[in-house]
Amino acid sequence: MTVEFVCVGTEILLGNIVNTNAAYLAEQCAMLGLSCYHQSVVGDNEERMEEVIRQAVSRSDIVILSGGLGPTRDDLTKEVTAKVFGMELVEDPHSRSRIEAYFQKSGRQITENNWKQAMVPKGAIVVDNDNGTAPGLILCKDGKRAVLLPGPPNELIPMFEKDIRPYLNQLEPEGIYSKMVKICGSGESKVESLITDLLEKQTNPTIAPYAKTGEVHLRITAKAAGEEKAEALMKPVIEELYRRFGKQIFTTEEEVTLEETVVSLLKEQHLTVTTAESCSGGLTAGRLLNVPGASEVYREGYITYSNEAKEKLLGVSHDTLMTCGAVSEETACQMAEGAAKAAGADLAVSVTGVAGPDGGTEEKPVGLVYIGCYNRGSVFARAFHFSGNRAKNREQAVAKALTMLREALI
């Protein structure tokens, strides 16, 4: 079955708010095995809204609409959808008393326009809204369905989880299941060139590559009657990817991040880590410490932006800084080793480079970053040449630092 989303609201068209409802609904419906090929946003204009809804209903089995169910004259979603489905609006006594109770409870005065929200298309399923006045609605005619949800996420999400998801789940016999094969240490085009043959012959499961900073994600999606059958379809593809990318694959789970993998490996091996950052200025630590429970493996870290701080906190030699410079393999190694010793940690990663936009020279251009890795007695550093702006260079450096930490642990 196909689904599409029509999000209604001038505030989305003007960029006042980010359309997080679409992302939420898309993820939920993908998980339910519904195929989604379109999303649209339209404003509170009757003619354009009708055109968009008619098109959506004509090309998809289920249209989920969000927004435009409020009490004001601007709110037209229900009226226009009812028109498209050829249903008249009638008052729903249950909704009327629910709205009455809602206002009583919140101690606010009901204004006349609030009763508009008790009007529903005749024959529609009415879904109670536990967090607001506008009820949700399910319209069904000639095998086509429209699901109308309130716009505020704090009303939409609970309503979807409580009533809409179970409703949609019983519509489809076959589900979609997916795994995310996440690769670090290779760029997107390199990864793709290594799986051209797999991409060409893909049917079920399918493979879709996504480029992320310092990572490439391959989404493997199978359509099958039940999770077990889907797993069986995906297994040989994932095994083949492991044969090609080996240890560069750090997870096959959607929600697992690179920093979580690093923290888990450290926990398993009862090791601790620290960070010594110059140009990345705390962002590597920031990512590691976004993992709940990172306190088991990380106690302290250092931001050493000046040469003096590198000497004082990490014991980098004054001579090295003078002869090789702060952005050098030697300094990166001494930073990592010094940090590990100062923190009493088993591992340490260091970042020193020219993030830009200023400070580049012919010998050491903007984008040159050295990352050092100390690992229980041994230390080395690698040079990277990034080519983004300051923020991007720092972000890429952090991704490489985490990748190197992970490599030290596998």
Q: Which two tokens stand for residue 249?
A: 């694959």
Q: What part of residues 329-388 is at the interface with a copy of itself (CB under 8 A)?
A: 343, 356-358, 365, 367, 384-388
Binders in 9-28 for a copy of itself, by CB under 8 A: 10-20, 22-28
Give the Cβ contact number of residue 101 at 10 Å: 10
CB 336 within 8 A of CB 372: yes
Binding mask 30-69 for a copy of itself (x = CB under 8 A): x-----xxxxxxxxxx--x---x-----------------
Q: Which of 89, 171, 309, 324 binds a copy of itself (CB under 8 A)?
A: 309
d(Cα 82, Cα 76) in Å, to the nearest integer? 10
Q: Minimum distance from CB of 407 to a copy of itself (Å)?
A: 18
**What is the nearest approach in angstroms of a copy of itself to the Cβ of residue 249?**
18
CB of 12 to a copy of itself, least distance (A): 7
- Cβ distance to a copy of itself smaller for residue 87 or 301: 301
How far apart, in Å, do the first and last CA atoms of the chain sit? Answer: 43
> Is 167 near a copy of itself (CB under 8 A)?
no
If binding is defined by CB under 8 A, does position 170 make contact with a copy of itself? no
Which residues are CB-contacts of 306 (< 8 A; sequence separation ≥ 6)? none
Residue-by-residue DSSP string for 173-206: SSEEEEEEEEEESS-HHHHHHHSHHHHHT--SSE
> Toward a copy of itself, which CB reaches closer, 341 or 392?
392
Cα dihedral 54→55→56→58 (10° resolution) = 80
Strand, coil or helix: 278: coil
Residue with tokens 């010998």: 363
Closer residue to a copy of itself, CB minimum distance, 262 or 288? 288
Q: How far is the CB of 57 from a copy of itself (least distance, A)?
A: 16
- Please give the DSSP secondary-structure letter assigned to residue 110: P
Q: Which is nearer to a copy of itself, 140 or 329 (CB)?
A: 329
Residues 205 to 264 in contact with a copy of itself, rule: CB under 8 A: 208-211, 219
Q: Which of 92, 163, 277, 346 binds a copy of itself (CB under 8 A)?
A: 277
Helix ranges, 195-246 (H):
196-200, 227-245
Subset of 137-156 contacting a copy of itself (CB under 8 A): 152, 154
State which residue, 87 or 150, has the beta carbon closest to a copy of itself. 150
Task: Report the alpha-carbon distance of residue 289 to residue 295 in Å, rounded.
Answer: 8
